[in-house]
Amino acid sequence: MKTFLLLSLLLSSLNALDAFTSSSVCQKCHPVIYNEYYHSQHRKASIFSDPIHKAVWDKHPYKKKGMYKCAKCHTPNDKVILSKLEKHEKALPVKNKGQLEGVSCVSCHNIKSIEKHARSNTNVITSNKHTLYSARESEKNNSDKKYKMQKSLFGFVTKKSGSPYHDIDFTNELFYNGNVCMGCHSHKENAHKLQVCTSKITAHPNSEKENCITCHMPKIPGSFTTLRDTKTHRFHGFSGVSHKASMLRQYIKLTYEKKPQGFDVIIYNSANHPLLLHPLRVGMLKVSIKRSNKNIALDPVKFIRIIGKDKHPAPPWVATEVLKDTQIQAKEHRVIHFNTDLEPNDELIVTLGDYLVNPKMAKKLGLNKPQFTAFRIFKEEHFNVK
Ligand code: HEC
Ligand code: HEC
Ligand code: HEC
Ligand code: HEC
Ligand code: HEC
């Protein structure tokens, strides 16, 4: 009976797998991954689920022109919008299934290759409608894993392998070296040839050992499917500034060093990209000294990338230059000097954090709620001064 059910699911579904396939279909057999993904920014990437994206979109000149060009990366499942944009027709987001999917399961698992372009890269999607790409070292040469059921000699035990819903191609290098992320996350250039956002990873390219996947999708306990018992799966909540930032703390080191006058705080960023990437973010270092009953707060230090025009800050579609960039770069040891002398028995408190939305921009965007504008602690260290 169970076999029959699986077989009929198989027959009815193999051809149905296309970019519209809703992530909730995958939920049946991959509930742990689906649940993590549900809370991720990828699921929430549309204007209907991300108030920050909506606020910027509402001010964007493309909205007046009626062209939701953000779809390429934010809602790649909405094929209606994408095909209209290709024909240079007007296309605005409406609250339909394709939009609400955001960056869906299939929008990543069917990326065959990445085309490099100056404005932004493009994901090339496989035309094979029932194969998904994935990585597994032990099957790296298998480009077409199909579902198989083998009965043992006496017919009591059935050995299954593969997925009854989809075939799997394990040979796509992008899924091993993290470059599958670079179709959307590499860079975005505006009409004035300014890179509004850039991960600058050409300086420290992804490697099989360390890449976007190893840090943002670590292996954690729990089986990746209900039909098999694997000990671990890759985290699909995509830890980042907005969600589960605590999972990334280990990649940033905070230390201090006493100097003849004052002391240095050293921030080491082991990521292969600047610590904060989106131009709306502002990083901040807060340092204070606890001395007997006193608390001495030192001047905070900001990390920010400001884009603008004619020496004044300007929105992404107007900006022509980078006015200032103090963001902590990839693999950088940032040394920040404080003139205050430390004394024995001081407790030095070093706090690194950020604002999701630059408070100055938040006002203009109408994003006034504390969830957008409050200072959020990313990592804090307490040192006992000797
Ligand atoms: C080339 C791909 C690409 C295009 C096109 C694109 N974005 Fe994005 N966008 C991203 C990526 C990747 C992120 C996540 C970056 C990060 O967090 O550093 C992002 C994040 C954002 C955020 C921050 C969201 C948050 O919750 O903090 C805003 C706002 C945003 N995009 C607005 C837009 C708007 C408006 C458009 C269209 C006019 C657009 N983007 C087009 C790739 C793109
Ligand atoms: C009927 C159950 C079922 C459904 C529905 C299903 N899968 Fe699977 N999937 C499996 C099974 C079982 C495996 C493991 C196959 C194996 O290990 O031999 C698997 C494996 C995978 C893998 C590769 C795992 C690896 O080892 O790297 C990916 C990726 C994947 N599924 C994604 C999806 C996505 C995306 C969807 C929704 C479009 C989906 N699956 C829907 C059962 C299912
Ligand atoms: C060595 C670990 C490491 C690697 C490798 C890595 N990251 Fe990160 N990533 C981080 C850390 C740490 C942060 C900062 C989190 C914070 O401050 O809350 C971060 C932040 C981000 C953010 C949020 C930035 C923002 O401003 O919203 C995005 C998006 C991101 N990484 C994508 C990527 C992509 C794409 C790759 C592959 C090119 C990658 N990361 C590689 C550790 C890593
Ligand atoms: C942003 C891109 C992206 C999205 C969205 C995404 N995945 Fe993945 N997924 C990956 C990458 C990359 C891997 C890593 C391959 C590896 O190293 O195993 C992976 C691995 C997997 C695996 C197998 C490996 C494991 O150990 O976990 C399964 C199963 C899977 N994904 C299913 C899903 C399902 C189901 C969804 C939607 C609920 C989904 N994925 C959404 C990129 C994505
Ligand atoms: C189809 C385009 C696309 C692909 C492929 C993609 N992303 Fe994203 N990603 C986005 C967009 C768009 C956002 C911003 C969504 C939002 O906040 O509105 C985002 C957000 C994120 C964030 C959250 C940043 C934050 O502010 O917390 C992380 C982390 C991230 N992506 C990592 C990855 C990794 C790792 C991969 C590769 C395995 C990947 N992405 C592949 C489009 C993509």
* Tens digits of residue pLDDT in 305-330: 999 999 999 999 999 999 999 999 99
- Rounded CA-CA distance 282/356 in Å is 7
| Sign of the dihedral through C-alpha 11, 17, 20, 22 | positive
Token couple for 72: 């390429």
In this prediction, residue 158 carries a pLDDT of 80
pLDDT-derived band at 74 (thresholds 50, 70, 90) equals very high
Cα 282 to Cα 73, 146, 352, 364: the distances in Å are: 23, 48, 11, 16
Tell me how far the alpha carbon of residue 106 lies from the centroid of ligand 3, in angstroms: 22
Report the pLDDT averaged over residues 371-379: 96
Lowest-confidence range among 21-25, 187-191, 254-258, 296-300?
Answer: 21-25
* Tens digits of residue pLDDT in 216-256: 999 999 999 999 999 999 999 999 999 999 999 999 999 99
Pocket of ligand 2 contains residue 166 by CB under 6 Å? yes
Closest CA to 223 of 236, 237, 234: 234
Binding-site residues, ligand 1, Cβ < 6 A: 50, 52-53, 56-57, 60, 62, 69-70, 72-74, 120, 184-185, 188, 242, 277-278, 280
Burial of 297 from C-beta contacts in 10 A (0-12 / 13-18 / 19+): exposed
- Closest residue by CA, ligand 1 atom 38: 70
In this prediction, residue 153 carries a pLDDT of 72
- Rounded CA-CA distance 292/33 in Å is 49
* Tens digits of residue pLDDT in 137-161: 999 999 999 999 887 777 777 888 9
Closest CA to 94 of 59, 62, 68: 68
Pocket of ligand 5 contains residue 216 by CB under 6 Å? yes
- Rounded CA-CA distance 283/302 in Å is 6
Tell me how far the alpha carbon of residue 65 lies from the centroid of ligand 1, in angstroms: 19
In this prediction, residue 344 carries a pLDDT of 95
Report the pLDDT averaged over residues 274-300: 97
- Rounded CA-CA distance 182/81 in Å is 22
Pocket of ligand 4 contains residue 248 by CB under 6 Å? no
| Sign of the dihedral through C-alpha 342, 347, 352, 358 | negative
- Rounded CA-CA distance 274/269 in Å is 8
Pocket of ligand 2 contains residue 29 by CB under 6 Å? yes
Percentage of the chain beyond pLDDT 70 is 95
Percentage of the chain beyond pLDDT 90 is 89
Report the pLDDT averaged over residues 7-23: 56
Tell me how far the alpha carbon of residue 216 lies from the centroid of ligand 3, in angstroms: 7
The answer on pLDDT for 7 being more than 90 is: no
- For residue 22, the ligand closest to its alpha carbon is 2
